[in-house]
Structure 1
């Protein structure tokens, strides 16, 4: 009995699929737009809209996949249609249902799948909207909600298609049945053209109207004598009524057919969207009647609105998305050119937004983004366009902004508005932002160039300080290009496994013994030469690049230590440099200590070098906590470039510092600046009084070495003892450096080994 029920249910479902007349139809721009939007929203490589036929699944729309169909017996979507809710497979390789599926074991190598069952009648699930990835991934509640909403859009498109089929069929049937009467022929022609639901006519001489029963229903009126023309027009709002009256009068006067869509309020107060079409009937060559059809198009209108919103508005904030922003910017520049006026573009980037996501969660981050969007909408100048370009970057297009001083005033108003705390997940969160400003036609004539100028201005503002306003100037374009080139160089180096640590020895000055090394980042170029950090220093102003470099260096250095020890070499203390971006990343200390534990490396053999700029922010509590965790585990903390920053004594007191490194500028000054010896001696004495050791950087001459040794400086590094070289040149600790200038390896003409 159960088998029969299942067979009957499948038969009904297949009939519903085929009744849609969608199988094997050409691609449709609306369905293609949906899958493109879904792919962009979920950052997923493959998105499909599928229909499940008897023995196959066919793709009505697809993104990231060349095939147009697959066998049903291997289709994940076959499982989706068996459930009224989402099917989510976070790792197909671990799912008993799919681990041996050829789509998992072979191309396209499915690992993650999430599918929404498509149904337009609430009973028959005809197919699915699904997202697919080649990597496992999690799928939280907000992602599930988003997929359900996109699935609803697909169902709206299918319903529109179904309605169109039904209305065309009804129109064809009406036309066949009523060919004998000329008036009905004209009405049926309109019904076919407009997919009409109700019909009406108006006698122009008597002003008497005739309505079908459906017309009464659409007005929420009982079937009785139709209202007068004035009473019927009263169902339209003020502006819509004027438009409808104008169209009807024009039709009567010219004899031309008419068609309009307008907002409409029924007798019970329901707001609807309606479409009407008709034409004049003549008797003896004179206008006698208006005849037409009337249709409630609210559902399709709202579906089109939802599609427009999905294509043009940011899903989270409701602001214009990047596509609408670009259209608006182009339109504003076109208008400004015609009116000989100006346009100001503001790019706004939230400072430290990633830390909000990392420390408080993505929901808190979303709350902040929505609050910022609402505030920008409220405070932006009249006629402005406010957009979210992605992530934590916003834009404001301000037409007719005036002189450059006015641009800065607008940017300052925006920044001041963002200085208030925002409520997110029950907490007040302070947010700051940096603004980049560029204007048309002063800075650029084309919209892409104007956007680039604003981006350059934003970067320049961030280089100086958070919360700054950066205004475009032609001379800063070079800096922007240098940053882009540096970031690309780092990215290519990481991808190509060409970013690596080089090691410069630390020498104990009392006996010139090597006791450890500093790991310095280098990139081996494709021609074999080596680039030092100075060649890509602009990349360090980009937090993502900083973190990428730090993660790569941490992994490689720990692996080098483990390999050296496995080969019987004890490299001594190895020093790593850490940036603000790394220390502000989630659980930096925990990740470093775990890697050391996994490789059985004593934390006491690691030294972490930080610069004083890390301590200059308004809230350094997070960095202090991370350093305290590392110090408690035995890792040494060194303050690099000591003496060149601000409030150094305060930092020595407030942070767990074990060692200071005297900046090489003081060592270089020993032979040139009479104050340098006194300053260095004072720094050494201060450090020793606080129980810290001292490393002098940049020692290049025997005279510098002799002085530093004489005043009790503990150790040093510099070209006198050795340049930074590959791990293959590391020979271990307690190697005595000869009493003459030498390096740990011999540089060649291409600078291919030493840097």
Structure 2
């Protein structure tokens, strides 16, 4: 087949800068002619299409159906951004936009079968990502079914489509601006006849454009507004000055609404009016509000008088001020006093004067909002008394945002302010001690930490607990406890004068000192603790006023309020457990002790939750023949990993009232169950000793809870022996402890004093409390040599117990020599590894049977 036209180089440059551009219609017409000629052309050699298309500034591509380029001009290469060599064999999908590809291929295949030329639009995508929108004319060379090549003529219509899009957007913008605008635009000729009006006019009034043009618009006005409106319009037409007038317009929905009409003329170079341009604005809501304001003004004045409000009225149009008589009375001024800003300013306290001055200046400048409020203090002109005044004002504006009037009401809120102050004080302070409460104290602490951080300074926080407050409440009464707290709060505040002191709740107080050196803070707190120890007299009873304190320093021990409170709390706990009545300063190792305690408490809770507590029983024997006469119930717990564990991992729980009580109740339930089982089997286990921690004696219902369980299980009280340590005899609760022990003793429960000689109890406690058994601590039994002195102590304890009619039990016996010594010196009973370790309840029966068979 012959080539279509001359070689590529002869088709012209196709350079848009050198070719004569065709307008879209001419280019499309040329492409149509080419398409027609190409559709009927069968390869005639003398058809010089290249020469024609090279001048047309359109793209031309001639290639066979396998994609080989026969001819292409530079303009087509420019449209697709590729050279002739790059186009060779390149499928149309490489340069047709993906969104246009399916449609283009479908049309191509449909027309190819019929060898029928067609026209389409598609985007040519260049390798750099840009694209050109083209009108493409395709002609096929050959008959239907025998097409061997095609000719594509591409006309760039990108700029044309963009121009059309902008025109549509501009028209839409204009339509929305006109149709959706709140105002109605209109124009008139130099004589005042309406020649254009916005479409909203017909929506509002129902008058068509034909009915409105000229002077037809007047028919929409309320009858009484026609004459003044036309008069003003004639003056404006005659003088050429802008017009601004208000009138009522009949609405399509019925009734009338107020509108504001404004217009200004446009002049030619000779000063003649060419056209009037105006707007019509619906102001009915504003007019109604103004009318309502005028109607209610008198009612407002009457209501203000009844409510005791003072009124300051400014007529900005006439620059006239008026004060109501009530307002003058508030200020302590005579009724004939002139209303001036200077007079008002002279009565405002200097610290608040700037508030009123700023308000006056803002009103003058038109900068204030339509509603404004300000609270300030004045001194009455007659008495000089300071009063709080709440002022509320309204700006009323005329058309054009011009200030017309300012109305201010003034109310004396001194009593309200005083009440609010009392409420705020109550919300931030403890009612009993009148010190800052926890929330307010924490706020003050956080502010002080921020100041210290900014100044690179130090701050010391102290937490304090009043010792034995619960015992005072329980034994004497809460009124006595309250009196103790009040006295301590007063003494602490006086001792730490200048520091912030607060009550965090219960018996817990706090203070922080903003001092340069920690030693200074420690000294001041220690002195305050010492000075607060004077007893407090309450209804003839002297109450001890002791407290324990823990301190932490910013930033060494914490950089936030929470961190500092935690550190001080750790120090306080350390002091309560080891150094009551003194100040303990935080040290890092204290945190480890607290963590160990927390871990123990967590383990104790887990043991209770898993019901893993169980008693083990160590035999107590008669030293003369090693006959078992009883057992001591010892706490054990079952660990899923390590098996049976001792009480050491739970020791902190015995100081916790709640956990100690729960553990004791669980142990007592187990012991009662075991005793009931042994009784049912006919076993004589003697007495079983049960240990009670000091924390359990803080429960007033200890006796009742204990005895209820014995009765429920049918256990004789004589089978139980309570072991207590000397610490329960000490402190303010000793009298209550004595009462509880006496109650147990009367029921037949024996009382044993454990670890005798290691505590701080005096010998008088042996007579003051119902003690039946003294247990010699294992530390004295371990070394009974003459050189140790323990033998003398043991001899003395045995002799003392014999004189007082008490039994003696020696603990920790591990050798025959120890047993022989004790028996020889009059000790009747003993227990220790020599006679048997603590065993489970199931092993007690075997132990008893084995011992009896051996002894029988």
**Structure 1 residues 627-678: Cα deviation after superposition (integer angstroms, max 9, x where no partner):** 3333333322222112223465333344332211111112222479654344
Matches within 5 A, 1:284-303: 291-295=407-411
Matches within 5 A, 1:353-364: 353-364=469-480
Equivalent position SS for 1:614: helix
**Structure 1 residues 278-334: Cα deviation after superposition (integer angstroms, max 9, x where no partner):** 679999999998653435667986887687567644465554333333332222111
- Cα displacement (A) at 1:435: 0.5
Select which of 379, 385, 388 maps to 2:500: 385
Please tell me whether Structure 1 or Structure 2 has the larger radius of gyration of its CA atoms: 2
CA shift in 2, pair 1:228/1:465, >3 Å:
same
Task: Determine the C-alpha separation between the residues in 2 that align with 1:396 and 1:598.
Answer: 51
- Cα displacement (A) at 1:512: 1.6
The match for 2:647 is 533
8 Å CA contact 1:570, 1:733 repeated in 2: no
CA shift in 2, pair 1:508/1:397, >3 Å:
same
Task: Determine the C-alpha separation between the residues in 2 that align with 1:675 and 1:623.
Answer: 33
8 Å CA contact 1:278, 1:290 repeated in 2: yes
Greater RCO (CA < 8 Å, at least 6 residues apart):
1
TM, length-normalised to structure 2: 0.56
Select which of 570, 573, 582 maps to 1:468: 582
Task: Determine the C-alpha separation between the residues in 1 that align with 2:676 and 2:379.
Answer: 77
TM, length-normalised to structure 1: 0.63
Number of residue pairs aligned between Structure 1 and Structure 2:
558
CA shift in 2, pair 1:181/1:545, >3 Å:
closer
Residue 586 (structure 2) pairs with residue 477 (structure 1): no
Residue 792 (structure 2) pairs with residue 656 (structure 1): no
Residue 512 (structure 2) pairs with residue 397 (structure 1): yes
Matches within 5 A, 1:194-209: 199-201=311-313, 209=321
Residue 432 (structure 2) pairs with residue 337 (structure 1): no
- Cα displacement (A) at 1:344: 0.7
Equivalent position SS for 2:782: helix
Q: Could you list the runs of 5+ residues in structure 1 that have no partner in the other structure?
A: 1-172, 741-755
Equivalent position SS for 1:730: helix
8 Å CA contact 1:457, 1:472 repeated in 2: yes
Select which of 710, 714, 722 maps to 2:828: 714
Task: Determine the C-alpha separation between the residues in 1 that align with 2:338 and 2:623.
Answer: 107
8 Å CA contact 2:548, 2:575 repeated in 1: yes
Task: Determine the C-alpha separation between the residues in 1 that align with 2:665 and 2:487.
Answer: 33
- Cα displacement (A) at 1:493: 2.5
CA shift in 2, pair 1:290/1:361, >3 Å:
same
Matches within 5 A, 1:151-550: 177-178=289-290, 199-201=311-313, 209-211=321-323, 215=327, 232=344, 238=349, 241-248=352-359, 251=362, 256-257=367-368, 259-263=373-377, 274-277=390-393, 291-295=407-411, 312-314=428-430, 317-382=433-498, 384-399=499-514, 401-422=515-536, 429-527=543-641, 529-550=643-664
CA shift in 2, pair 1:364/1:674, >3 Å:
closer
Equivalent position SS for 1:358: helix
Equivalent position SS for 1:731: helix
Indicate the larger mover: 259-268 or 722-731: 259-268
Task: Determine the C-alpha separation between the residues in 1 that align with 2:757 and 2:782.
Answer: 14
Residue 695 (structure 2) pairs with residue 576 (structure 1): no
- Cα displacement (A) at 1:505: 1.9
8 Å CA contact 2:752, 2:774 repeated in 1: yes
The match for 1:680 is 794
CA RMSD for the aligned pairs? 4.6
Equivalent position SS for 1:507: strand
The match for 1:65 is none
Task: Determine the C-alpha separation between the residues in 2 that align with 1:174 and 1:300.
Answer: 36
Task: Determine the C-alpha separation between the residues in 2 that align with 1:270 and 1:354.
Answer: 48
Matches within 5 A, 1:92-107: none
Equivalent position SS for 1:503: strand
- Cα displacement (A) at 1:566: 4.5
8 Å CA contact 1:659, 1:695 repeated in 2: yes
**Structure 1 residues 441-486: Cα deviation after superposition (integer angstroms, max 9, x where no partner):** 2322233221121111101111223212111112222112111212
